[in-house]
Each structure stands twice: as structure tokens, then as C-alpha cells.
Amino acid sequence: MTAAFVLDKSLLLDGGRCSLALMCLAIPGKVTNIYGEEQLSRMGRIDFGGVLKEACLAYVPEAQIGDYVIVHAGFAISRLDEQEAKKVFEYLKEISELGADDSQPPERSQ
Amino acid sequence: MKYVDEYRESDAAHRYVREIHLATSRSWTLMELCGGQTHAIIRHGLDALLPEKIELIHGPGCPVCVTPVEFIDKALTIARRPEVIFCSFGDMLRVPGSSSDLLSAKAAGADVRIVYSPLDAVRLAGQNPEKEVVFFGVGFETTAPATAMAVYQARLKGLSNFSMLVSHVLVPPAMTAILEEPGCRVQGFLAAGHVCAIMGWQEYLPIAAKYHVPVVVTGFEPLDILQGVLMCVRQLEQGHAAVENQYSRCVKPAGNPEARKMMAEVFKIVPRKWRGIGEIPESGLALTQKYSAFDAENRFGVEAVSVMESAKCQSGLVLQGRMKPNECPEFGGSCTPEHPLGATMVSSEGTCAAYYLYRRTAVMSP
């Protein structure tokens, strides 16, 4: 029996009513350990609020121990950016300072 | 838990709600693309906090829901073979095919196993050389890099007893299909944050420009969704149609280059049938020639399986945002998560299941 087949209650919605392995759901966790020599076999142990699980780190070569990553289907797909993470709170401040009508939201692409 | 609880903070949520009310002067219809967002909206009751003028309609971003019936039938045909260990994400097990589902096949003796990662299936293939291990590769761009890696590693390890039934789908062609539909009501999109974590947001630029719709890449926590709605509404009110990134803590403009490289190595773009919607050109992924030896459809001769969909299930209309689940006459009666007529009632990300789980009492009370 490998750890992979132990169903992880923390990854279930509503105490398991919903589903066993949520498909497009990706969850943030903290990298606590990294192993594997080559980039494509790089694995890590991820702490999801106390529940530890293994994830493949091949797609986040920049991730280091202590970083938070978003994990989906056993793969870290993105390293969370601490600066950008504050923007959801800064945006509120920005719009209230600029006034509601003619301000430009940040990161406009066109 | 870090990067979760902060984004559920009630004060900030109420400030966002207030800003949305202030920003809204006309009626707007937004579509959230991802089933994960639909669940967060219904679960946290976010839609009830919004001005009446803002309508959220729930898009087709539930991978389980859009996997065509015939792929379930193909999976069943393969899973029932005595030499096969059939591996799947848990969500797929109760999705009804034309006559049965994978869970029933498992109960009848088929070796069907739930895996957390596609790499678990590769490991199983290594441990069981006398067996054929098949993985059910479904999902959007978020999941494709994981399944791509499984096939890549199987080839690297020379595992000739591993194969994959591939039914991956892509978001932008589905958006185009929705926008091209006569009577389309969608005026702005909340794009799926985790799909964009892989693909970035540049591929939405032509869609925003051509159809003049704002697209806001949005996360999955209540504050993310409220900010996504606010950004989208502000664009609509100002007559803009740009692509913005609300979920910048996770999504970079070009997405995840390593993951995209692996997808390009293993998959090619093909037309794909969507459950309840029909075939959409260039909307799916299939294995490239180099990896065709790992194609389970080929290996088990199920390419030609084709079936009609249930006439009673209205999931096609629900998936396109043209019907709310509780408007369906079967909802909560002949169609429940225990006995689903269609995949939207089965999947944890399905719109019908979300309404059933969180809105049943509201719907049933007079």
C-alpha cells in the first residue's frame, strides 16, 4: 500500500460527500522537503495545513523548501508569489483612493 | 492555513461587495468558467451578495461533466478486461455511461482503482508487469501536464504495459463556441485561474478583442471571486474589453513554461466532442505520433465506440449557461447525486451537484 492510495480527507469537500479526487481543484501547500536529482523527477513533500503529501516538482524548478506551491493531481503547477498575494487587499485600497469612476485597474493588457 | 483563510476574510469581502454595488449601474451577465469557481460561489453564497443587476452564469469548466458518454463506454470496455488495472481520478467513477458506470464495473469485479496522481498509475505499471495498466486522462489544461508527464515517464522507463485513454479538453475553444452561439448572453468572463497557471492569459487576448468581452483571470477563494467580479464589472461599465489578471499570485502572463513544454512534447490539438455540447474544433488533446503506442483507444480497439446521449438530461443547456439547474424538471427528483442522469449532477465541480448540495432547501421551500 503506497501513500498515494490513502484518501486524504483534507482534500475532500464536505467531509467526502462530494468526491474523492477533485479534478481541477488545486490547493496551496508548503514545500517541506525536496528529493530527486534531475528536474523531471524532482519530487517534494508538501504540507497542506498539517497533512503531508508527496507532489511532483518538475514544473516548478524555482520552488525551494519553505515556498508555497499550488498542487493539482499530484503536481505543483505554480509557486505562489508572496508580493502578488497581497494585491487582493491592495486593490481595495487603490480603488477607494482613486475614486470609483474613472480609475484604471492594474495589470491591464490592452 | 496560509493562502486560504486570508482570502475568506469577511471584512474585505464586505468591502468588495460594497464596491461592486457602487460600480454597477446597468445589468450585466458574467460567466465563471471553472466548476471550482461555481462551487465556491454557491457554497459561500457569493451570488446572493451581488447586486440584482449582476447575474452569474455557470460555464462548462467541469472536466468530468464534459467528457462524452462514449468515453465512459470506452473506459468500461477496457476496464472490464481481465488483464487490465484501470486507474482514474475518483470523480469519474460514478459518471454514467450509456448503460453503466465505472463504480458498478468495479463492484462486478473489474480492477478499477482511484489514483491521486497519474504517476501512481505509472508506478502500478512498473509493479505489475503481467497486467495492462490504463489511466483515464481527462481534464482541462490544468491536468494535462500531469498526464503528459505520466506518458513521458512510461516511455522513458520502457513500460510497454502502460497506456492512457485520453479525453483532454481546452478552454479557449469552448469560450469561442459559447460566444458564437445565437442568443449568447455572456458579457464578461471570469477565466479559470488554474488553467491559466499553466497556459497564461495571452491566448485570451484575441477572444476579448474579437467579441469585445472582458476576461478576468480569477482565483477560487471568495475574495478572489469578488475581486474578479468587480474588475469585470468596472470594465463593462467603462466599455472596456481587456484581459486582466486577478490571480497574479499564481498566474504569470506566459503561464508555466515547463508544463507547456511537456504538453507540447506529448499532446497534439484535435477536435473533441463535449458532453451535452457536441464537437468543437481544436478543443481537445490527443497523443502525438511519437507516443501513439501509449494510446489505449488503439491498444484495445475502442476507437469506433459512439453513442447517443440521454434525451432527459439537459446538461448541455446548463453547461452553456442557458439553463439553471433548478429550472430542470428532473432536478432533485429523478436526478440526484446518488442517481444522476448526467455528469453535471455527479461531479464535485458539476453545476447541478453544487445546486443540489448547497441550494436544495432554498429551492424546495415554497
Average pLDDT over residues B322-330: 90
Q: Which residues of A touch B246 (CB under 8 A)?
A: 88
With a CB cutoff of 8 Å and minimum separation 6, the contacts of B190 are B30, B31, B32, B33, B34, B37, B216, B218, B225, B228, B229, B232
Q: What pLDDT is attached to residue B76? A: 97
Residue A93 in grid coordinates:
485600497
A77 closest CB neighbour out of B64, B114, B194: B194
Higher pLDDT, B37 or B321: B37
What's the mean per-residue pLDDT of chain B? 92
Q: Say yes or no: A92 contacts chain B, CB-CB below 8 A.
A: yes
pLDDT surpassing 70 at residue A17? no
Share of chain B above pLDDT 90, in %: 74
Q: Where is B211: in which H helix or E strand?
A: helix B205-211
Q: What pLDDT is attached to residue A65? A: 97
Q: How far is CA A59 from the centre of its chain?
A: 13
Q: Over the stretch B70-121, which tens digit does the pLDDT of each residue have? A: 999 999 999 999 999 999 998 899 888 888 999 999 999 999 999 999 999 9
Distance CA A106, CA A87 (A): 10
Average pLDDT over residues A15-20: 33
Q: What pLDDT is attached to residue A24? A: 60
Q: How confident is the model at residue B362 (pLDDT cuts 50, 70, 90)?
A: low
Q: Over the stretch B190-247, which tens digit does the pLDDT of each residue have? A: 999 999 999 999 999 999 999 999 999 999 999 999 999 999 999 999 999 999 999 9
Q: What pLDDT is attached to residue B118? A: 96
Q: Over the stretch A45-67, which tens digit does the pLDDT of each residue have? A: 999 989 999 999 999 999 999 99
Choose the mutation target among A7, A8, A19 for the interface with B, i.e. most B CBs under 10 Å.
A19
- Whether residues A78 and B251 touch (CB distance < 8 A) is answered with yes
- Domain at A26-100, CATH class: mainly beta
Q: What pLDDT is attached to residue A99? A: 61
B197 closest CB neighbour out of A18, A25, A77: A77
Q: What pLDDT is attached to residue A39? A: 86
Average pLDDT over residues B259-273: 97
pTM reported for the whole predicted model = 0.88
Share of chain B above pLDDT 70, in %: 98
Query: Do residues A31 and A67 make contact, with C-beta atoms less than 8 angstroms apart?
Result: yes
Higher pLDDT, A18 or B138: B138
Q: Which residues of A touch B13 (CB under 8 A)?
A: none
Average pLDDT over residues A31-42: 91
- Whether residues B259 and A59 touch (CB distance < 8 A) is answered with yes
Q: Where is B229: in which H helix or E strand?
A: helix B222-238
Q: Where are the domains of chain A?
A: 26-100
Among all residues of chain A, which has the CA nearest to that of B15? A92
Q: Over the stretch A60-108, which tens digit does the pLDDT of each residue have? A: 999 999 999 999 999 999 999 999 999 999 999 988 787 644 444 445 5
B63 closest CB neighbour out of A23, A87, A102: A23
Distance CA A53, CA B171 (A): 29
Separation in Å, CA of A35 to nearest CA in chain B: 16
Among all residues of chain A, which has the CA nearest to that of B217? A107
Separation in Å, CA of B183 to nearest CA in chain A: 27
Q: How confident is the model at residue A2 (pLDDT cuts 50, 70, 90)?
A: very low
Q: Say yes or no: A52 contacts chain B, CB-CB below 8 A.
A: no
Distance CA B88, CA A45 (A): 23
Query: Do residues B232 and B204 make contact, with C-beta atoms less than 8 angstroms apart?
Result: no
Distance CA A40, CA B179 (A): 39
Distance CA B92, CA B72 (A): 8
Q: How confident is the model at residue B313 (pLDDT cuts 50, 70, 90)?
A: confident
Q: Which residues of B touch A28 (CB under 8 A)?
A: 1-4
Q: Say yes or no: A49 contacts chain B, CB-CB below 8 A.
A: yes
Q: What pLDDT is attached to residue B83? A: 98
Q: What pLDDT is attached to residue B237? A: 98
- Whether residues B143 and A109 touch (CB distance < 8 A) is answered with no
pLDDT surpassing 60 at residue B270? yes
- Cα–Cα distances (Å) from A32 to A29, A63, B12, in that order, read 9, 11, 31
pLDDT surpassing 70 at residue B363? no
Q: Where is B138: in which H helix or E strand?
A: strand B132-139
* DSSP classification of residue B308: P
* DSSP classification of residue B198: H
Higher pLDDT, A19 or B361: B361
Distance CA B74, CA B164 (A): 12
Average pLDDT over residues B6-20: 95
Average pLDDT over residues B123-148: 97
Among all residues of chain B, which has the CA nearest to that of A30? B2
Angle at B254 between CA B253 and CA B256, to 5 degrees: 120
